[in-house]
Amino acid sequence: MFHIACHGGSASSPSHEDGPRRACVVGLEKLSLTTNVLDAVIAATRWLEDDERFNAGTGSNLRLDGVTIQMDASCMTSAGDFGAVAAIERVRHPVAVAQRVLDTPHVLLVGEGATDFARRGGFEDYDPTTAGAKERLEQARAMTDRVGPWSRSDLEQAWNFDTPLREALGGDTVGSVAWDGELFAGALSSGGTTTVLRGRVGDVPLPGCGLYVGESGAVATTGDGEDIARSLLACRAYLELERSGSPPRVVDWALEELPKSVDVGIVVVDHTGFAGGARDGMAWHGQSATGPA
């Protein structure tokens, strides 16, 4: 059996589940053509990067300067391969650049070096700024200008826009994990958050933080990046998968592992199937299909 699970980020609306569902179909179609599990999760994640409803690729968030969009992406396989880019700019599919890093001796390229690497690899200049990104920026600016710096809890209590705060500040990491009957693979992509410094790197490109893949399965997390990175959540969730052998149990474990104030979501795939979930709900989908005989 092939198994794949995709998510649109912990801040994504569950009503947008059609996006991850279609990404799963794209990934399974790729698997049926190539039987390459890494290519499958890259294809699925690229689909999500092109969906403006999610915070990755074309759906990425502008920073407070109103100009800068910096993106992170990573990919990993159960064969031990890991490639990532951080704070990359002006590319359409950061996750595809992360996959290309696997062709180098490195595991992570950052900033201008990552962007230059993409150009030399044939990735064309692309401006991911959208009308939605501009609207989210203006809403964030309105709150900042009116009352100054906020904690997340204070923002949630005072928020008075029609658009929910989580949507106004932009979604989170998108991700895909899959099993092709022999190997596991996972991929993540994120457009970051508006209210961060230029050059900020979240959990996505850091091994074992947002993504971890091993012989027992694949884990992709999403949520508050600094908290996820500090806790090495993906790696620890994978170790929990090794112990329990149950994706649903791992999801329950992850959602209880961090403080209640932390936004967190997760999808998990192992040999038997998949599971996913988030504290506040998110768009995600899992699917299985019969592999080649």
Q: What would the pLDDT profile of 69-102 be if each residue is shown by its tens digit?
A: 999 999 999 999 999 999 999 999 999 999 999 9
**pLDDT in the model for residue 196:** 78
Give the residue among 134, 201, 191 at the shortest CA–CA distance from 8: 191
Q: Is the pLDDT confidence value at 153 over 70?
A: no
Q: Is the pLDDT confidence value at 140 over 80?
A: no
Number of H helices, E strands in the chain: 10, 11
| Chain centroid, CA 177 distance in Å | 11
Residues 167-196, mean pLDDT to the nearest whole number: 86
Q: Is the pLDDT confidence value at 175 over 50?
A: yes
The runs of H, that is alpha helices, within 83-197 are 94-101, 111-120, 131-147, 152-158, 165-168
Summarised one tens digit per residue, pLDDT across range 25-41 is: 999 999 998 889 999 99
Handedness of CA 198, 203, 208, 214 (dihedral sign): negative
**pLDDT in the model for residue 189:** 98
129 given a catalytic annotation:
no
Count CB neighbours of 114 within 10 A.
26
* Residues of the chain above pLDDT 90, percent: 73
For residues 218 and 132, give the distance between their C-alpha atoms in angstroms, rounded to a whole number. 32
Give the residue among 286, 281, 97 at the shortest CA–CA distance from 171: 281
Among 45, 77, 115, 173, which one carries the catalytic annotation?
173
Please name every residue paired with 7 in a beta bridge, in sequence order, or none if there are none. 175, 284
Q: pLDDT band at 167, cuts 50/70/90?
A: low
Average predicted confidence (pLDDT) for the chain: 90
Residues 101-110, mean pLDDT to the nearest whole number: 98
Q: What letter would DSSP give residue 57?
A: G
**pLDDT in the model for residue 169:** 57
Sheet holding 274-278, edge to edge: 211-214, 217-223, 264-269, 274-278
**pLDDT in the model for residue 146:** 44
Q: Is the pLDDT confidence value at 53 over 60?
A: yes
Q: Is the pLDDT confidence value at 109 over 80?
A: yes
